[in-house]
A and B are shown apart, each in its own frame.
Chain A
Amino acid sequence: MPWTKVYIDKTEYEDALDEKGLRGISFRDAIREAQDQLLESNSNVFIMGEGVDDPGGVFGTTSGLVQKYGKRRILDIPIAENGLTGVAIGSAIAGMMPIFVHMRMDFLPICMDQIINHAAKWFYMSGGRVNVPLVIRSIIGRGWGSAAQHSQALHALFTHIPGLKVVMPSTPYDAKGLLMSAVNDGNTILFIEHRWIYDYVGYVPEDIYAVPIGKGVIRREGRDVTVVAISQMVYETMKAAKALESEGIDIEIIDPRTLKPIDEDLIFESVKKTGRLVIADVACRTGGIGAEIACRVSESVVEYLKAPVKRVNFPDVPVPCSPVLENAFYPDFNSIIDAVRKCL
């Protein structure tokens, strides 16, 4: 299906999309288009964040929106992340639908009080009387010496909190469709984007559509090993699949797309078929989403496992700067190939 397809190089998607007469746009443009259509179709939607109206447009994801919607709805803000998260929550309580954008996910720890103690709990504490329809976009990345405070992926922290949802799309199609769903969901949603996949192109319909939150997708069917790949790791896993194919190893790639609530049934069904599981994440190992997935598999379908579960993660150290250390830090498709081989 065109909407589940992942293209890892340009000629591949150009051929595939042109052949079918489908429009291909980048992940970055898919995010921008989703916001544009949300702003146009619903006067309650607005975007806030540091630099959302500047010429860079948050890596191009908000470019042009201030010219179209004005500074009131594309709201530049003081550098006061926690207080302004509270402001976003208040506006959401009053029925607005804010999208709060953070250029780095590393800035979210500043907002933990408002996200965890307030946004996540308001609906429950109020006995279901006051909800907080807030989307918090944050961007993760890697490389170029960004070091320990500009490269963190903290999705697992947020999956621990009841009341929050955590979404991590990997394709342009899902980026647009999941952002549409997130803004209309009525809850507080962490929407996490990997900057390295901003230029990847894929099929994106021009119309408004929704991708359901909580539904994963099979990116590649296979019989030997299930690899659950998160965010940018989907692309590394696709590369690994190609290499392994030549050895006669056929992996199945699951992209959960949402980490909370996670589509555990999709993972269980795949594990039942393959009997082997690798989880490839873009974050540190201990207490990560891989641990949660492995635990759920062992609680529910352990009898199908033919080999121990393997994880591909960042090591449990802060991100270093030097290119030599960075190379040693980040896993890639070779790490996934190794993990798959160890399962066999």
Chain B
Amino acid sequence: MNGNCFQDIQNDMLLELCRKILLIRRFEEKVVEVYPEQDMKTPVHLCIGQEAIAAGVCINLKKEDYMFSNHRNHGHCLAKGIDPKMLLAEFYGKKAGCCKGKGGSMHPVAPECGIFGTSAIVGGCIPLAVGTALASVMRGDGRVSVAFFGDGAVDEGTFHESLNFASLKKLPVIFICENNFYATSSHISARQPHSNIAKRAEGYGIKGIQVNGNEVLEVYKAAQEAILGSRKGEGPVLIECRTYRWKGHVGPDCDYEKGCRPLQELQEWTAKCPVNSYKDYLIRKGVITTEGYQEMIDKIDSELESALRFARESPFPEEKELFDDVYYMRK
């Protein structure tokens, strides 16, 4: 990582980014560890390898800013501030889960920290973020909305409809495309005529930026500028973050064994690990020591252990709750 353009970032911020990126990595690794027990009865779409994007974007958001995400949402939710206890309890189908066991891994919410929904329909949440941004403009509340989605969502009409409308109305919404080059196991070259997603922005009259999604400070800087500008009324921005997922589309295993992706490609990307790369940078800069880094991991692990214990031990919903919350009842 070339550190010169990141000189102005304060150490507190650098460390907080480190904590966020590590929280996501350790959380996902914990899921990989316990998933074979088959008590976590929900399909998990893991983001190992893509952590820098969630961390680098969300650290720039205020608590009340709106965030929407997709099926691969664990990292986004953790980075935006969801309580890992509530997230894990949701994965275990527990009443204390963030959706009372109604949503599972694909649909966490946490309105208290701006997470208003996660859709497992590809591209489904992009227009929702445009809608909260429209509400922000109508009310003048100064909030920014962020939509996380993958390169697969760029195939969908909602992506194009959303960029068009957001540009037309100059809405405060940031589109974060995590381009990991695969939709399930279909490579982007089989789905799109060219692989430069950032360029799509040009056609809609908005700014499009391409960054290395495995370098957290690159993501941080691009997101910071976009979010500040959008908050000032400069309209939407599309940020394409190039990255790679280490696990298969769903579940704790990798899919190269099944022939979904070449092993060599995976190895090239694991060598560009966003967590290690950032760790090396921080140590090189003297922001953290090897011991300090290990302490940070230990602290996160112990938090996650206690969250996991909470999730496992907390009660399931009662059967009668099946019928609750189909319709909102005005109080």
Contact = CB atoms under 8 A, between A and B. Distances in A.
A319 B203 CA distance: 39
Contact of B130 (A90, A124, A126, A131): A90
Interface stretch (B11-19, B98-106, B221-229): B98-106
Interface string A42-67: 00001000000000000000000000
Interface string A104-126: 00000000011001100011111
A103 interface: no
Nearest to B95: A127
Counting chain B CB atoms within 10 Å of each CB, the highest count among A126, A128, A162 belongs to A126
B135 A94 contact: yes
Contacts of A205: none
Interface stretch (A182-190, A234-242, A329-337): A182-190
Contacts of B214: none
Interface in B95-137: 97-103, 107, 109, 111, 116-117, 119, 121, 124-136
Interface in A76-98: 77-78, 80, 82-96
A125 B107 contact: yes
A122 B132 CA distance: 15
Counting chain A CB atoms within 10 Å of each CB, the highest count among B99, B117, B124, B126 belongs to B117
Contacts of B158: 82-83, 86, 113-114
A92 B117 CA distance: 13
A78 B127 CA distance: 13
A130 interface: yes
B330 A94 contact: no
A95 B131 contact: no
Given A83-B162, A84-B165, A86-B162, A91 B132 contact: yes
A96 B130 contact: no
A127 B165 contact: no
B164 A78 contact: yes
Contacts of A113: 121, 124, 158
B324 interface: yes
A78 B168 contact: yes
Interface string B314-331: 000000000011111110
Contact of A96 (B68, B135, B326): B135
B157 A118 contact: no
A20 interface: no
B99 A125 contact: yes
A141 B138 CA distance: 34
B132 A94 contact: yes
B325 A128 contact: yes
A83 B328 CA distance: 24
B99 A129 contact: yes
A73 B107 CA distance: 31
Nearest to B136: A94
B278 interface: no
Contacts of A131: 328
Nearest to B127: A86
Contacts of B99: 125-127, 129
Interface in B287-329: 324-329
B98 A127 contact: yes
Contacts of B119: 117-118
B161 interface: yes
A285 B3 CA distance: 69
Contacts of B121: 113, 117-118
Counting chain B CB atoms within 10 Å of each CB, the highest count among A83, A90, A92, A128 belongs to A90
A127 B134 contact: no
Contacts of A125: 99, 102-103, 107, 109, 117
Given A86-B161, A96-B135, 19 more contacts: A72-B138, A78-B161, A78-B165, A82-B158, A84-B161, A86-B130, A90-B128, A90-B145, A93-B132, A118-B119, A118-B128, A125-B117, A126-B103, A126-B117, A127-B99, A127-B325, A128-B328, A165-B327, A187-B327
Interface of B: 66, 68, 97-103, 107, 109, 111, 116-117, 119, 121, 124-136, 138, 145, 157-158, 160-162, 164-165, 168, 324-330
Closest 9 CB pairs of A and B: A90-B131, A86-B127, A83-B161, A127-B100, A128-B325, A94-B135, A127-B99, A80-B161, A90-B128
7 contacts: A78-B168, A83-B127, A114-B127, A125-B117, A126-B102, A128-B325, A131-B328
